Structure formats: structure tokens, C-alpha cells
Amino acid sequence: MCGRYILVQKKENLEKIFEANFVESADYKPNYNISVGNKAPVITNLNPYEIQMFQFGMSPAWVEKPRYIFNVRAEGDYNAGNEINYMGIKGIMSNSSCNKPLRSQRCLVLADAYIESSMQFGFKKPYVVYLKDHRRPFAFAGIWDTWLNKETGELVQSFSIVTVAANELVRRIPNDRMPVILPRGKEKIWLDTGKNMSDILRLLRTYPAYMMNAYRVTDQYKSTEVNGSWLLEPKGRRLDSDFGARIYENETAQALKEIA
């Protein structure tokens, strides 16, 4: 699952890496605790050269009341056991909330890292999950929709992040789901609505564990109201033993602070 994530890049960095410019109305600020209901930067298939601010938590166009769907399963109702090597049907296509957006309303959700909670302990033991080799920012595979609030007349543009079965690293948190992280160079394919759906569905894969790492952070993440670089201070060891068994010495935490 991915209900919290981090994006603290400067605007110019995001624009350079994703070859898109923020729209003039975008009110972007670094956020160490992006939560459901917050507005966050996305790039949509309709405007692939613009970075817009959409609401995290998708309300499908056809619902009467907002739903705030923040994650959608790539497998839909299949793969109930969240098997890592699942090769079966991508049931997301049969989900009434996702079918149309997956075909024609896809987006990149920009991020530096994400927060994963333990299935056993919840936000009493959260982890920050990031990509190795300083690969940030990156993009989650997202879908979006526009919902009309009939009471106010407001059009709400919102998004959801597609998830798959977790890799071996994330399962050590433990959690058996993770967001779809698009490999560098594949972002444009995700946005290309001219592609066959078979090409799009092939992107809904579990990101390799050896390219990721994670470490414990404060349980203050249980509150959606807290924010600030102090949230990234390590509270335990990195999960990947490739770096030895020493206490994590703030390299990633400090790097994320410095780019804000």
C-alpha cells in the first residue's frame, strides 16, 4: 500500500528531469508527508509537458460523493495471496472505477520516496522506502479522474496510485503490497494512450528489491498533520544488509533535506 509519500525536490529539478513545466496556478511546496486529500504534482497523458497539482485520493467521475481512492490493485480481485511472482490476469481492467482511467487517464505521480507502514504494527513502526544510487525523483504509475461536486460546482481533479505485490525488501517491513514504480525511460510509455493495453499492463510490475532500501522512521507519521525534514531521521538500521549492520548514518535523510 502507499498512503503516504515524500516529494521535496525544487521545482526546477522536477521540470528538468520530467521535461515538463509547472502550470502557473500550481501552488507547490516540498512535502515530507503527502497524505490523502493533499494536492501533489502529477503529469497527465492529456498534458504531458505540464506539471499540475491534483488531489491525492481519486473520486471517479460517476460517484455521487467523493471516495478518495488512494490505491488500486493492478491484479484487481485476483492474487488474493499477493504472490510476488503472480503472472495472471490484471484484474484492474474489470474494476469499474479504474477501467476508463487506465485506458485514457493515466498520470505520473512524482515522488522522492514513500512511507510504508507495517501490517503488524501500522504506523507504530513506519519505514521510509527509497531507491538506491540517489535515484530521485521518480514516478509512480497513477490514474486520474475529474469529479463534479454538484453542490458547489467545483471540478475536482484527483489521482490514485497503482499497486502490485511487494518485493522481498518491502515484505521485511512487513507489507505485502507496494506502489508501481516506473523504470526511468518508461514514463512516456505510461502516458502514451496510443500504446496497446498489453504494453501498458506490462509496466505494472514489482520493482526489483536490490534497487531499493528502507529504514525506520518516527511513529509521528501516524498523524497526517505533521511535516518537516525531522520526520526522516533514522530510528533503526537499513533493511539492506549490503551496507553492513551499522546504524544508518543519515545519508539518505540528509540528502532529502538538502534538495528541498
pLDDT digits (tens, 9 = 90+) for 91-121: 999 998 999 999 999 999 999 999 999 888 7
Nearest CA-CA partner of 27 in 54, 5, 3 = 54
Residues 160-165 have a mean pLDDT of 98
For the chain, the domains span 4-113+135-211
The rounded mean pLDDT for the chain is 91
CA dist., res. 165 & res. 49, Å (int) = 31
pLDDT for residue 251 is more than 80: no
CA dist., res. 12 & res. 22, Å (int) = 9
Query: Global pTM?
Result: 0.93
Q: Write the single-letter amino acid at 67.
A: R
- Which of 245 and 23 is assigned the larger pLDDT? 23
Would you state the pLDDT for residue 254? 60
Residues 200-222 have a mean pLDDT of 95
Instruction: Report in angstroms the alpha-carbon separations of 62 from 59, 170, 186.
Output: 8, 34, 30
pLDDT for residue 252 is more than 60: no
Taking the domain 4-113+135-211, which CATH number applies?
A: 3.90.1680.10
